[in-house]
Amino acid sequence: MNSTDLVNGLKNGDKKIIDLLYDQYAGALYGIIIKIVKNEELAEDVLQDSFIKIWKNGPKFNASKGSLFTWMLNISRNTAIDKTRSSHYRQLESKQKIDFQITNHLNWSYTPKTEHIGLNKVVNGLDDKYREIIDLIYFQGFTQQEVHEHLNIPLGTVKSRLRIGLRELRTFFSVQRVSIIVLLIGLLG
Amino acid sequence: MNKDQFLNTGLLEQYALGLTDENENLEVEKYLNAFPELKKEVDEIRNAVEQYAIQQAIPPHPRVKANIMAGIDELQGSKPSGGRAGSSNNWMKALLILGFAGIFGLLFLYTQKNAQNQDLKREFAELQIACDQQNERIQANQLEFLFMKHRYTQKVILASSNPSSHTKAVAFWNPNEKKGLVSLGSLPELPEDQQYQIWADVDHVMISVGLLENDYDGLQDIAYLAEAESLNITIEPLGGSTAPTVEKLVVSGLL
């Protein structure tokens, strides 16, 4: 199934598409949601609500405005941020100081997909100062202004670090693609 | 704002990450249309962050998926575009698709059969030509055979004047039929720019009676001259000569 079929299916409210999208992206979205709400149970709720919204809003998705993943991420991120503003979340937060560590909270083990094992090392090599800004902006929906206030670094620096960080990611993932192609050619040849 | 100033605003990154509002989108799209290379950059950023996000995926508990699917099932009844209303429509679509598939299938078979037919016709025509050629060859062979067996046909061995050479050609000469044939026999192959030529000696004058094809094993027609006393084969430049190159005389035989 290609991306056009996916988008068409989504527009028609096809349940099978949600099944496929879930298998493909739920892990990535869940990983981001959990960074925002910092609680497994809430993150599950948010993921569930997000996918229902994705299904309901499918007909509104416009491929010319952005990628499917970005659109799904926006829905998930907004749902997560809304959750953190809810009274329930505030109660929870005040009752127990959340000392959040994903690895301690998860009672089933996270095995990275094989195709990503090799990537981990390299992307982990992305300098923390870039990674922090990408994570805050992309995953948690901070504006550049908010990052500037939150981290107390000049706005110009926030912008240039985001730009450099994204450039490094781009380079890394395009090199990755080239090396996979080279590997394939090697195997076939 | 020029391109660099625009890039310095950081809007392009925000846009690629899906974090801009409607007004900002319009602003960014203006630059994307003016500078197509930025469009590529946006696609690359989107792809990279998607990969980045997938790389940091954490599998949620399986109950989440089950809840989502159940939730959709529950909502599906109330959603006008989904489910039952579409199902009769889907049947119609399926039938239509089947119908078209059938028509295309038949069309495909028909064109295939047609092509097969054409191929067979072509093959048949080729075989017929080959058959005719074989018949002609057999007839020619029969005629040659009859000619060689003819009681007035004289077999003439053309040999080298050099006694140590075993090179020989053979000619058939028939005064009654006024016809001559020659076979190159054991004459050596010639380079492409040379050719054997056969001459009849009439009153000590050499008259050409034929240019011989280089690599032809069979009998070749030569002109018949009643007064000929001998036949002589020389090597000449391709296309032949008007007078024989005597020093290139290979074989000869008296009639």
Same domain for A17 and A96, yes or no, is yes
Backbone angles phi, psi at A109, to 5 degrees: -80, 150
Q: Residue B173: in which H helix or E strand, if any?
A: strand B168-174
- Residue A72 belongs to domain with CATH number: 1.10.1740.10
Contact B157, B253 (CB under 8 A): yes
Q: Taking the alpha carbons of B10, B15, B16, B18 in that order, is the dihedral positive or negative? A: positive
Q: Concatenate the DSSP letters of all residues of B11-77 into one string.
A: HHHHHHTT---HHHHHHHHHHHHH-HHHHHHHHHHHHHHHHHHHHT--PPPHHHHHHHHHHHHHHHT
Q: Residue B155: in which H helix or E strand, if any?
A: strand B154-159
* pTM as predicted: 0.52
Contact A72, A50 (CB under 8 A): yes
Residues paired with B183 in a beta bridge: B170
ipTM value > 0.85: no
Residues paired with B195 in a beta bridge: B236
Same domain for A67 and A101, yes or no, is yes
3-state SS, residue B35: coil
- Residue A134 belongs to domain with CATH number: 1.10.10.10
Position A117 scores a pLDDT of: 44
Same domain for A125 and A181, yes or no, is yes
Position B51 scores a pLDDT of: 87
Contact A35, A139 (CB under 8 A): yes
Boundary of a domain, candidates A85, A107, A129: A107
Distance between CA atoms of residues A174 and A168, nearest Å = 10
Residue B173: pLDDT over 80:
yes
Strands (DSSP E) along B36-80, which ranges?
A: none
* pLDDT, tens only, A27-80: 999 999 998 888 889 999 999 999 999 999 988 888 877 788 989 998 999 999
Boundary of a domain, candidates A107, A131, A166: A107
Residue B74: pLDDT over 90:
no
Window A:152-171, CB contacts with B under 8 Å = 158-159, 162-163, 166, 169-170
pLDDT mean over B46-59:
88
B19 CB within 8 Å of a chain A CB: yes
B45 CB within 8 Å of a chain A CB: yes
Using a CB-CB cut-off of 8 Å, the residues of chain A touching B66 are none
Residue in B closest to A162 by C-alpha: B13
Q: Concatenate the DSSP letters of all residues of A137-163 into one string.
A: IIIT---HHHHHHHHT--HHHHHHHHH
- Boundaries of domain holding A115: 111-189
Using a CB-CB cut-off of 8 Å, the residues of chain B touching A16 are none
Residue A116: pLDDT over 50:
no
Q: pLDDT class for B88, splitting at 50, 70, 90?
A: low
- Count of the separate structural domains present in chain A: 2
Using a CB-CB cut-off of 8 Å, the residues of chain A touching B75 are 52, 55-56
